[in-house]
Each structure stands twice: as structure tokens, then as C-alpha cells.
Structure 1
């Protein structure tokens, strides 16, 4: 979508978008720029649009796919895995601070309260302005700022209920309370948000179970705090300190269904995905994120505008315990010792991923003359991450039907600790070659040092815990062997060049080439390896191969992006259409045994995005979006295979009609996800069945504020999300959850 026009504030002047659109300023490109100067697909989602979609239990991962055409479908669980942008990972920023880290767990959009968001800027396609993580584009989430008044308050209270299960177990609540103001040169904001979520229920009124692979959000409470302190030294110079904290923790007595005692689902049985009461688990899934950011701006530093940012952030993600089983094939020479030819290795473990990140970003915008300027600067980032796990008693897990989790032993390594240091320099030239044409060209150089620690693979830990007593008499000097760490160095050069031609007062065409890259997730890729000295390589014929980090094919995966587009904006309508293509020479593959490989395979993705908004009159507007993505990879055999739906998202169509009055707004919107069976035909992923959802969003002025009533999944459609269909094919039936049925939410919001 070139720009989003779906205004939600009640208004009787809905068709005044054209002048705004041409002069709208965004900051996702690291400096304040008008949309009409950018040779890329750009979208700005304002606060009214976001708040119109908000209801208890929803997060940005639920909201944004209904507004951004190229973004993957909502997952309705904690992860945003599969929510790619143009088939590639998207870089999430919060107030300009990258949320990317080397162990890139997909919870960014579920770890910020939507009620705190002022606007969201989306720049599709990579650019040399940013480094790792944004091969598909950038989503910059900008939180609310201080009021210009001396003292102002904001309050929001809301609740949500399932229409199929009308009791306290189906209610969710949320709140926001904020105080802010500006006194002389000092500004301040303090905001607290909270949410109490109960159960989620499907279209039949059945409780939806926790998702055992990536964690669900039912029966989870969250709390968030945002504090901003600013000081304006003079007209050109200001400083701002931001503290942002969010925590969410599940507390449920329901578990996923593994088929009862004996957990037959773990061994391939087909069981119903449903919630089973009786869960006994002390340490339940959790998300916690803390960020401290210092921003400094001087708009006249030796003739340049200087922006400096220093940040610190840390996060901790705890998963649901995951049961799996693997059968090791014993080498013939050792079968007499084991008295069998196979050694089962059932495991129940719960992992926790942690990251700590420090960094600085320095940006200068310098005018060369009236027609040209350059943006240039330096970035530094230090990312320290680790993932650990704890085991649970397998017998209790099996006998209880996956309800009882009794911890055993101490925590163990779940991949190596990884420290990634990135130093980068970039420059981008903007040149108005004529009154209507603007050209942009940029370059970025990054030096990346990855320090991988020694680590004992989890399979070693599992094996020696279960078979150590049996093996030790034959190999008294043997034991768990660590994979030796190493230091990896990368150099990445990124380039972009594009041009935009304002062919009339109301239309623009643009063409753009840009490059981005992804760092290999070393901790994840090395989790399943074994040391060359591991006894397991001798004992078992299917234990895998030895891992030598120095010889591993780790390298920055460069992505080359091309796009060509047109956008138009008039008094009564706006529209856009963009064709895109991107290519990389490496492919990350998620295997059926949950391992991940980085392969030397060419991966290409192409597609189309289009938007239309029509202002029928001062009260009625209508429109929608469409996106189509095709992705394929070519293996060593030369055969092309279509990508899974978690990469190349199924085609998506959204539509809406909205009525705006002076004290009343109502919007009927739909989202259709089309069937996707291409990967299944190549035996490369799940066969995805499409679905359509319909929502009714209403807001009316009542007293000093606005009453909002939203009905989601209005027709109570029964379906599974794209993620749940993929997860069922990948992890088993316990992950094949039904989507949420019809819900009704009410909230009251006022500013005073």
C-alpha cells in the first residue's frame, strides 16, 4: 500500500487526503522525509487507524496484516513466525531502535502494547540505511509522545468476550492510563497499560488449547510501562530519554491434547487439537522486554542536522515445554551392548532465550546545494545472546497425558552463547535532477564479528542423561562433548539506487533497486550439531555429522530487491500498484525433525501489491488491498520447489466500507486468505486452506470520550490460521489449533 487512508476518527470531511499525502513526513528512513520523495512503497498507519482495530487480547501481529497488504496473515499465537513482508523477514523498530538480535525469536509484534502506539511507518524492501534483519522491509513503531499542554490525561478501559462461551472464563480486560505535559522547556509522559486475558474459544465454543511449539496468549496477563522525559535546549537542539518495559506471563490450568496417558500424538497418532484441564507447570511461558533509549537532535550542527541515538535493551522469552522423540539407530558393533538395534530418545524440555543489546546510531543530513543532500552516519551494535533449557521427567509426562511437568536436573545449554559485534558506515545521496524527478543512491558497509562459545549440544545432554549408566562401563572415559566455539567475521556491502518521477500533481512512478542481508542464526543452526569427538557418532548411524564451526557454511545472506510502482492520489480516491522481485543465493530450511540448515540454494520471490481507497462522498469511503507472492528455491538437483506458506505468504485480499459522521464511525472490513498448495505439491510444506474473516468496528461519541464496540469474526467462521496449518504439518496435531470464533469487545477512551 502506498499510503493508507482509512481514517477512523469520526469526521464529516473524509475526502481531504490528497494534500496530506503529498506532504506527509516519515522518519523510518532515519531522517524526516516526505513520502513523495521516496522511490519505494511506503505506508503510514496513524493512531486513529490503530486504535480502531485495538481490542483486549489483540496485539500488533493481529492488527497489521489487516492494514499492510504484503504482510503475512495473523497467527493468533505469541509468535509472528511466518509474517514475512514480500516473502522476507521484516525489521521491527520501536522508536527507531532495532529489535533484531542474532537469536531472532519472532515475538517483536507481541511485546509492545498497541494502546501505546502513535503511528507506524512501513517501508517495503531493504535499503542501505539499515543493516541485518530487514531484507523484506522496515516497520517502525513510534510510541506516543508528551502532550503540548501543561498537564493532560488519557484513559482507556476495555473488555472482550466470546459470543459462544458467555462466562467469566471467556472474558478479557485491558486498561491504559497516561499523564503527560510540557512545562517550559521540559516535557514528560508516563503511561501504564495492562491486560488480563482469559480463555480463547473457537467457533464451536470449545476452548483453544495452548500451542506447544510457540506458545499461545490465552490465560496470560501483561503489563507495560512507557516513560519519556524531554528537554528543548533551544529551537534547534533537544534531548529525550525513553524507558519502555513490557512483561507478559501465562498462568493456565489447560494443556495441549497429546491423546491421554501414553501421549500417542507424540508417536504419530492423529488426535483432536483441544484443551485438556489439569496442567501442572510452575514455570509457564513468559515474555519480558526492557529498553532504555537516549535521543539527541541538533538541527544546525555546522550546517547539518545531527541525530544521535544510544540504546540498551534486554529481553527474555520462555517457551512452553515441548515433547519430542527420536530413535537412534545403533551401529551393529554395539547392538549386543544395548541388546537392541534402536535406542529411543524421548525428551520433554522447555527453553528460554535471552538477549542483551547495546548500540549507538549517528546520522547527519547535509545539504550539498538546493537540489542535493546526503544522509550519512555510523552505527555500532553489540548483541549478546544465549538460550538454555530445563528438562522434565518423561515418565510423568507420558503417564499424565502431557499434564504433569516435573523438573529434573539443572538447566543446560540449548545452543552456544553468541556475541555479535557490528560496526557500520553508510551514506545516501538524494538529488532532485529536475522539478519532478528525484534520484536516491546509497551504500552501506558493515563489519560483523561473531564470537561463538563452546557449547554442549542438547542431544549430548539428553543421551548421557538417559543412557550414561549403560554406556559408561564400556567407555569409562567418555562423556558429553562440547562443540568447540570459534570466531566468525563477515563483511557486507549493501547498495541501493532508485528514482521517482512525479508525473503529475496527482501521480508518481518509481523504480528501485536495494540490497539487504540476514545473518545466520548461529545459535539455532549449531544447536543440533555434535562435536567431532562425540561418542554418539561412533555408536549411532543416524546421529548426524560432526560440526566444525570454522568449516561451516555460515555467511551473511545477501538479498537483492527490485520494485517498480505507481501511486496516485486525488480528492476522491487514491490507488497504488507495485511489482517486486528479490533474490538470494542461500536458503534457510526448516526440516521435519525440527533442525534448521543453511543451504547454498538460490531463492527467488516475486509478487504484486495493490491498494484502492475511494471517497464516495463526505461520509462514505471504501476500498481494499491485494497482495500476491510467489517464492521458489532451486536445489542442487536443479529442480525448482515452491516455498512454504510461512515464507511466500498466500495471496491476501482485504476490503472495507466505512461510514463517517460527526459523532459516529462504523467500518465493515474483511480479510481473505487464499488457498496455497504449491509447496505441498513439491512435498515442501503444508497444504494451506484459505479462509475469510469479517469484522465490524464501531465508534460513537459518548460523554467526554468515545465508546468503541468491535465484533471480530462476525460470521463466526470456523478455520485454522496459516500458522496453525503449517504447525500441524510440522509439529503434529497438538499444534493444529482452531482459530478464535466470534468475539465482541467494548472499550471507552477519553483524553482530558
Structure 2
């Protein structure tokens, strides 16, 4: 692996002064069209900004793309896996564990409100809102200091629906589906209703959605394993409301509420194996009257409330936005006998990540005309209190309550000089985490051998750092717009993993150092006649690393890996308008990572194999259109087996063999109604997703979803 070659090149070009942007197209010709350059996004700089002036690589999945993909699936982790270059292939489950962005963890937000729980990262944050409540998704790639802790790989920001201009609009959707090969118990249904409108100064949006997956089967007709984050039998219930009031021409007030619940209401029994066994994990139906220990896994309620006040003319050249928000979530994990403690009367248990956040964001934007130079300054403060713990459902404590106070001040500047966009920013971060005295959980495994139960003296952990971003973009022409950027991210390790495995008597002896990630990027974007393109090459490095490792394997005990990490990769997106009826596109993603000191590769918990996607959108005419999608996941084989004789691998180091998945959807529109038909895994490919192949842990080796057909009807009035 090259040693900072990209970093050196960028440092030579721009030193530490400016910031730049790569806008990588989503796999949708609509969003990639450079002729629509006036489209605005809000995530890159926390304020509405033109796409040709954003300060990081961005993919926007717009309303049209979301509507098209809902003909196939309502799973956001699947939609984003296809639509976002740089995002690892889908995990085909409720968990996005292993679905990293450019090889690092991602901060997931809803309208800027964090859904991720970085203090105890359960990797269940991508699936925290229903796509029916969304206007678009903005994905900012690469480490960023704009939003603080947890954004080592970038940001996924779900932007919720806006009210229509008419006084009363209604949209009703009913969708049904089933496995096309083995239909037994696979019937699924999805019902969604949206009412919105604007009456004088008042606006409103209401959405209610119920989505029942039914039993999910693989290409061989077997029920896909359910115990480890399976989607079989998951029922999702979502309620969304947004109310707005325009006080006057400049001032507005809005209130947004979102509730999301997704639990496994149907219980199945897994027949478990490991990828090393050469067999798959699958599920079977329970015997009549059979009962299940523990609680159903899934999101047991995710509530978000946001109150926003905006004054577009606080001063003649300055706007003000104030957000006050709360978020509460309980993520219930699978039942495990790992938590057995016979002496206390426990044969196992479910762990639950409980997180409560309260925050305030103060954001000001000042715009000046400095002798023909448009200068913009975005500045403000973030205040966040995050209380996170991971008890068991039976109230035993596994991860103690971590009470984090996070304060930050930030400044982002932008200078537009003719065709040049110059940017620089700084964020000063301060984090204090209070941890009480606690005792590690006593757990008894095979042969009643127990571990844990040792007392740990708590205390306060304090972190502080100042991170920067800088770069330049040159909009030479619509056909050629090069950019170069440097940005930093601040990442506090998954503290909960370390605390629950502590074998030392004092918190001060736990290795909890924070990491700073340096991210470098170089690329070009443009459009020439019917062709649009985006290309970016990047490199990120961290001296301390951000990973943890299970030690001993299978114990559930994790220790920090403080080794340095270097990750590099490149992304390409192409779109071609063949004629008025046909649009084609493709993307390619490559990422690889190593320890620069030893040359050892980073495993599949962070690094995914190369990914290729292609699509064709065809308008037949008379209201009929169709879309064909193709995702190709390629090989990755970087590790030797731990046992050369048996060929067994360990951890997340097993090789990945490439596979192909095709999807087909069609839509017929007439007046105020639409009929859709979708085929997911069109050719019924029997494959193991990349994570299922690379992870040797028992139960992860489940096959992908077999051919599934869905039909839907939408009526609007």
C-alpha cells in the first residue's frame, strides 16, 4: 500500500488553507445531471448550498430514486448500498454491522439529529426511519469535523418530507409481495398514507406506514436465518408529523416528530453453522406451542422531536437557525446463552442499547460581497447530552450508564472568486463522559466456566481536540470541474465495548484514547453533452486506529486495537442519456486498508470488496416505464487460513467470492394513480452476501434473499 502518496500530493497543492468538494453522482441519471447544478443540499455545510459549492464528496438520493426503489424494497440499507458509491454492499439484515462508508463508521442523522450511538455502537442506525417519510437522502463521504464525534467515514442524513403547495394532498399506497419460488408464509404487505398541504402561513405533513415482511426465503427456498438481525417476521410501524408556521417573510417555526418501531413479531429457530463448516445458517418454524426465551429483537421504539426557529434576516446579511431536539431509542439484540449465570438463575438474555439525547444547535450564516468576492461564514455552537447504556432486558447491567456532555464551536468559510470556490473550516470539540463505579457482568459459558464479576472504579473521561478542513474547487466548465480537499474527523472509540470487557480495577487503566482521522481527496466532475461523470480518489489515516477485537474469540469481550490505519480507495460514476427514452449509468467502488507499520490488511468489519453497479431506465411511453439494476460484488482474499490443513479462517478474515444481483421494476402511471411491479434478485441468484462470507462467527453465514416479487398501487388526490 502506498505511504501517503495522495496526502503528499494534496499537501503540495493546497497546503493547509483550502477545502474542496467532490460531488459523486447517485446511480440515477436525474441526480447526476450537472445541468441541475442549482439543486441545494444542507448536510455539507449545515446550511442550504449549491451542489457546485459543497465541501465534500456528496451523493444525493432524491425523491424520484426513493420512489423507484420502493417498488423493490423498503430497506434503506439495501437502497443506499446500490445508490451510494463508497458504501459497502448490503448486509441483508436489520443491522448495518460491516456496512461501512469508505472503510470507516458513519454518523446517521434525521434532519441533522444523530441516530447513531457512538458510545456503544450497535450498528442499527441506518434502519431508523421509513423511506415513506423522506424527501431525499444526503450522504457526505469522508471524515468530517462539521458534525463532530461518530463521523469517521462520513454522514448519512435523512431529510424528511416537505409539505406541498396545495391546501390538501393525499397519497395512499398498498403493496403486497412474496417469494416467487417458495411462497409458503412469505406473503408481505405494506400500507402507507400521507396527507400534506399548505394553508396560508401554516403547513403540515402526516405519514403513517405499516410494513410486514413475512417469512423471507433464500434462492434455495429455505427460510433465511433470523437470530442474528434477520428480516423474517419483522413488522415496522412508523409515524411522522411535521408542522410549520411562517411568522413573517423572514421568520419561521417548525416542529417535527417521528416514531419508528421495527421488531421481529414472528419467532423462528435457527439451524446455526459457520462459513468454515461449508454449510449455511437457515431457520425453521417452531413446533406447535413452542415458547421462546427472551424478548423480540429490533428497534423497540425510536422517537425524535425537533423544534426549529429560523430568521432569514437576523441582520441585513446574517441568518439564524436554532434547533432544539431530543432522541430516545432502545435497540434490542438477539437472545444469547452467552449471558447465562446459573447461580443467579439466568440461562441467557437479551442486551438492549438504551440511548437518550438532548441537544441544541445554534447556526448563523453571514454573507458579504468583498469587492466582487462572495464571502460566506457559517458559525455557531453545538451542545449535546447523550446518556447511553447497554443493560440486559432482565435488568442486569452489562455496559454501565455513560453520561456524555459534548460542546463544540465551529466556523466554516467559503469564498467564491469567479470560477473558484475556496473553503476552510475549524471545529473545537470538548467531550466529558461520566462513568459510575460498576461491576462487569458475570457470564458463564460451556462447562459452567464463568468470567466477569470484577468491580471497576468509575470516573470522568475527558477528550478535546481541534479539527480542520481545507481545499479548493475550480468550476472551469460544465465539462471539467476538478477539486482537492483535506478534512479531519474526531472519533471516540466504542467505549461501551471496552468498559464491558474491562479486566482492570480502575477506569483510568482502560485504553480509551480518541482518534483523529485525516482524510485527503482528489477528483473531477463534469458533463459533456449526454455524458456526466464523477471521479474521486481518496486516502484516510489515523495514528491510533478505531477498531476493537474480540479476545478471546467467541467470548464477547473486546479490547482496543491501537495500531495505525491507512485506508485508500477510488470511486467512479458515469451517466449517459442515450435519448429521451433511455438513460444508462454505472458506478465502481474500490477501498482497501492496512496497518502501515506491519502491512497487515484490515478485516471485513471495516473493508468491503470492490462493488460495481449499473442501471438502465427506459420510458416506454403512455405512462409505462421500467428500470433494470445490476450490482456486482467482487472478490476479496487478503488473509491466510489459521489452519492450513482444514482451511479454516478466523474472525472477519474469510475470503469473499464475487456474486451478481439483478433487480427489475416497472411502473404504469395514469392520471392520479400508479401501479408498480418489482422483482428483487430477478434471476434467483443463490449467493452469500459479502459479510456472510467474510465473517466466520456462527450464525452470520446466511444466504441472500431469493427472487421476490412485489406489486403496488398508489392513489393520489
TM-score, normalisation: structure 2: 0.89
> What is the aligned partner in structure 2 of residue 739 from structure 1?
704
CA distance in 2, matches of 1:17, 1:258: 47
Could you tell me how far 1:457 is from its partner in structure 2? 1.0
CA distance in 2, matches of 1:317, 1:489: 27
CA distance in 2, matches of 1:629, 1:7: 22
CA distance in 2, matches of 1:346, 1:75: 32
> What is the aligned partner in structure 2 of residue 283 from structure 1?
295
> What is the aligned partner in structure 2 of residue 613 from structure 1?
575
CA distance in 2, matches of 1:372, 1:15: 27
Q: Which runs of 5+ in 2 are unaligned?
A: 1-21, 643-649
> What is the aligned partner in structure 1 of residue 585 from structure 2?
623
SS at 1:550's partner residue? Answer: helix
- Indicate which of 652, 657, 668 corresponds to 1:700: 668
1:34-433 → structure 2 map (5 Å cutoff) = 34-55=50-71, 58-101=74-117, 102-167=119-184, 169-212=185-228, 215-258=229-272, 272-278=280-286, 280-281=291-292, 283-287=295-299, 288-302=301-315, 303-324=317-338, 348-370=348-370, 371-390=374-393, 410-432=394-416
CA distance in 1, matches of 2:133, 2:103: 28
Could you tell me how far 1:164 is from its partner in structure 2? 1.1
Contact 1:15 1:617 in 2 (8 A): no
- Indicate which of 475, 478, 501 corresponds to 1:528: 501
Superposition RMSD on alpha carbons, in Å? 2.7
SS at 1:504's partner residue? Answer: coil
> What is the aligned partner in structure 1 of residue 430 from structure 2?
447
Could you tell me how far 1:7 is from its partner in structure 2? 5.3
Contact 2:639 2:653 in 1 (8 A): yes
Residues 204-247 of structure 1 show CA distances to partners (whole Å, capped at 9, x for unaligned) of 111112133xx212112111000111100111111100010001
Could you tell me how far 1:39 is from its partner in structure 2? 4.1
Count, aligned residues: 670
Q: Say whether 1:24 aligns with 2:35.
A: no
Change (3 A) 1:15 1:353: closer
Q: Which 10-residue stretch deviates more, 557-566 or 156-165?
A: 156-165
Q: Which 10-residue stretch deviates more, 229-238 or 56-65?
A: 56-65
CA distance in 2, matches of 1:668, 1:508: 30
Contact 1:89 1:133 in 2 (8 A): yes
SS at 1:698's partner residue? Answer: strand
Change (3 A) 1:284 1:461: same
> What is the aligned partner in structure 2 of residue 541 from structure 1?
none
Could you tell me how far 1:115 is from its partner in structure 2? 1.6
CA distance in 2, matches of 1:677, 1:740: 24
Residues 254-277 of structure 1 show CA distances to partners (whole Å, capped at 9, x for unaligned) of 111148xxxxx89x9876522132
CA distance in 1, matches of 2:505, 2:569: 38
CA distance in 2, matches of 1:510, 1:209: 45
Could you tell me how far 1:2 is from its partner in structure 2? 2.9
Could you tell me how far 1:128 is from its partner in structure 2? 2.6
TM-score, normalisation: structure 1: 0.85
Could you tell me how far 1:679 is from its partner in structure 2? 3.8
Q: Say whether 1:584 aligns with 2:601.
A: no
Contact 1:17 1:571 in 2 (8 A): no
CA distance in 1, matches of 2:338, 2:514: 31
Contact 2:673 2:715 in 1 (8 A): yes
CA distance in 1, matches of 2:353, 2:339: 22
SS at 1:688's partner residue? Answer: coil
Contact 2:455 2:505 in 1 (8 A): no
CA distance in 2, matches of 1:352, 1:481: 21
Could you tell me how far 1:703 is from its partner in structure 2? 5.3
CA distance in 1, matches of 2:709, 2:277: 36
Q: Say whether 1:686 aligns with 2:654.
A: yes
SS at 2:508's partner residue? Answer: helix
Could you tell me how far 1:57 is from its partner in structure 2? 5.7
SS at 1:414's partner residue? Answer: strand
> What is the aligned partner in structure 2 of residue 405 from structure 1?
none
Change (3 A) 1:346 1:599: farther
> What is the aligned partner in structure 2 of residue 673 from structure 1?
633
1:517-556 → structure 2 map (5 Å cutoff) = 517-530=490-503, 546-556=504-514
SS at 1:583's partner residue? Answer: strand
Contact 1:441 1:495 in 2 (8 A): yes
Q: Say whether 1:653 aligns with 2:612.
A: yes
Change (3 A) 1:382 1:346: closer
Change (3 A) 1:467 1:559: closer
SS at 1:148's partner residue? Answer: coil
CA distance in 1, matches of 2:339, 2:196: 54
Contact 1:56 1:173 in 2 (8 A): no
> What is the aligned partner in structure 1 of residue 598 from structure 2?
639
